[in-house]
Amino acid sequence: MILNCFKVRFLAVIVLLVTLPISAMAAKVPLDVVCAALIGEWQGSAANPKGISKQVTSSIMCSADGRNMYISVSQGARFVNSETWWFRQRGSDIELVYSDGIKADIYQSLTLYQQVGGFAFLGEGEIKQRPALIRLSFEALSVGKQAQWLWQQSAHFLDDDSDNYQVVRGISLMPIESQCLAK
Give me the pLDDT at residue 105, please.
Answer: 93
Give me the pLDDT at residue 84, please.
Answer: 95
Phi, psi of 148 (to 5 degrees): -130, 145
**Does residue 35 belong to any structural domain of this protein?**
yes
159: left (phi over 0), alpha (psi -120 to 50) or beta: alpha
- Can you tell me the distance from the alpha carbon of 91 to that of 85, in angstroms, rounded to the nearest whole number? 19
**Does residue 44 belong to any structural domain of this protein?**
yes
**Does residue 166 belong to any structural domain of this protein?**
yes
Domain of residue 131: give its range: 22-177
What is the CATH number for 70? 2.40.128.20
Domain count, the chain: 1
- Can you tell me the distance from the alpha carbon of 130 to that of 115, in angstroms, rounded to the nearest whole number? 27
DSSP-derived pairing of the beta strands 54-62 and 93-99: unpaired
Give me the pLDDT at residue 143, please.
Answer: 80
Residue 71 · residue 83 · CB < 8 Å = no
**Does residue 109 belong to any structural domain of this protein?**
yes
Q: How far is CA 79 from CA 17, 48, 49, in A?
A: 41, 13, 17
**Does residue 14 belong to any structural domain of this protein?**
no
**Does residue 182 belong to any structural domain of this protein?**
no
Rounded to a whole number of angstroms, the distance between the first and last alpha carbons of the chain is: 72
Q: How far is CA 9 from CA 4, 13, 15, 99, in A?
A: 9, 6, 10, 49
Residue ranges of the chain with per-residue pLDDT less than 70: 1-25, 75-80, 178-183
Residue 112 · residue 28 · CB < 8 Å = yes
**Does residue 16 belong to any structural domain of this protein?**
no
Give me the pLDDT at residue 182, please.
Answer: 42
Count CB atoms within 10 A of the CB of residue 95.
17
